[in-house]
Amino acid sequence: MPPSSAISRPIHAITLDLDDTLWPVLPTLLKAEQVLQDWLAVHAPATAARYTTPNRQRLRQTLLAEHPEHAHDMSWLRHEMLRRSLIEANEPAALADPAFEVFLSTRQQVTLYPDVAPVLERWSRRYRLVAVTNGNADIAAIGLDRYFHDCVSAHRIGFSKPDPRMFHEACRAAGTAPAATLHVGDDWLLDVRAARLAGLQAAWLKRPDLKHPQAADTADGGEVAAFENLHAMDAFLHPDG
């Protein structure tokens, strides 16, 4: 159990990371890549042959160098990678639109951790919940929007974690002060440290099936509340039920 000083009350809102916090993201991305590859093999076979991991990495680095203003936007990067791959393969660039939709649709087919739905149901009755993500997960498509008051996504607002503006925008959406807002996430730097530097409280969700770096420091010299699942976090926040 974390030290009681790690989280102070009252808490009026909880912001939550999505990927690797509410579901493991790697299996979802691997499936989406395979579904996209299968679609390309039928509709753009020359592109499919070239759309290998090394070529995707090359294109991504090229795009980041040419367009650093889009570094926060995973959807733009993916779509542009597809468009350029099609052009390089002498196939219609317009196929980038349906190809991206195939990828994005599959990317929303996540497998929630078993604690997610019951705890979000409880929390949504106590707090305003706001999703905060650097990725392009869609809480409505996934079926979690009924629990959330809003979603702050990097591609929508133009910057990404660890930028403090992500967290401040989440607090604005929740209508709460940073000090009365708890951020929950799996990433030490992008979630825990960044949230605390932005003035929020933070809880580190260290799922046992994922690798987590050792905390190098804390934002303010205080202790960090760390939990292996949302049930344990909920029990800590509400010891009386």
Encode pLDDT of 84-105 as tens digits. 999 999 999 999 999 999 999 9
Q: What integer pLDDT is reported at residue 155 of this predicted model?
A: 86
What CATH number does the domain containing 183 carry?
A: 3.40.50.1000
Tell me: do 55 and 96 sit in the same domain. yes
Q: What is the pTM of this model?
A: 0.89
Residues 205 and 120 in one domain: yes
Residues 117 and 215 reside in one and the same domain: yes
Q: Does one domain contain both 152 and 222?
A: yes
pLDDT of residue 43: 97
Shared domain check, 117 and 225: yes
* Co-location of 198 and 228 in the same domain: yes
Specify the number of domains making up the chain. 2
Tokens encoding 157? 């607002």
- Per DSSP, the three-state class of 105 is helix
Q: Are 32 and 107 in contact (CB under 8 A)?
A: yes
Listed residues 83, 107, 131: the one ending a domain: 107
- Kindly state the tokens that stand for 153: 């996504």
Residues 135 and 215 occupy one common structural domain: yes
Residue 14 CA to residue 37 CA, distance in Å, equals 38
**pLDDT value for 69:** 86
**Among residues 91, 107, 123, which one ends one of the domains?**
107
Are 71 and 167 found together in one domain?
Answer: no
Domain of residue 147: give its range: 4-24+113-237
Last residue of a domain, one of 86, 107, 128: 107
| Residue position matching structure tokens 């020359």 | 46
Q: Which residues in the chain land under pLDDT 50?
A: 4
Does 10 sit behind a cis peptide bond, omega within 30 degrees of 0 on the bond before it?
yes
Q: Are residues 81 and 31 in the same domain?
A: yes
CATH of the domain at 97: 1.20.120.1600
In the chain, count of helices (H) and strands (E)?
11, 6
> What is the structure's pLDDT at 216?
58
Indicate whether 119 and 218 sit together in one domain: yes
- 85 and 151 housed in the same domain: no
Together in a domain, 126 and 228: yes
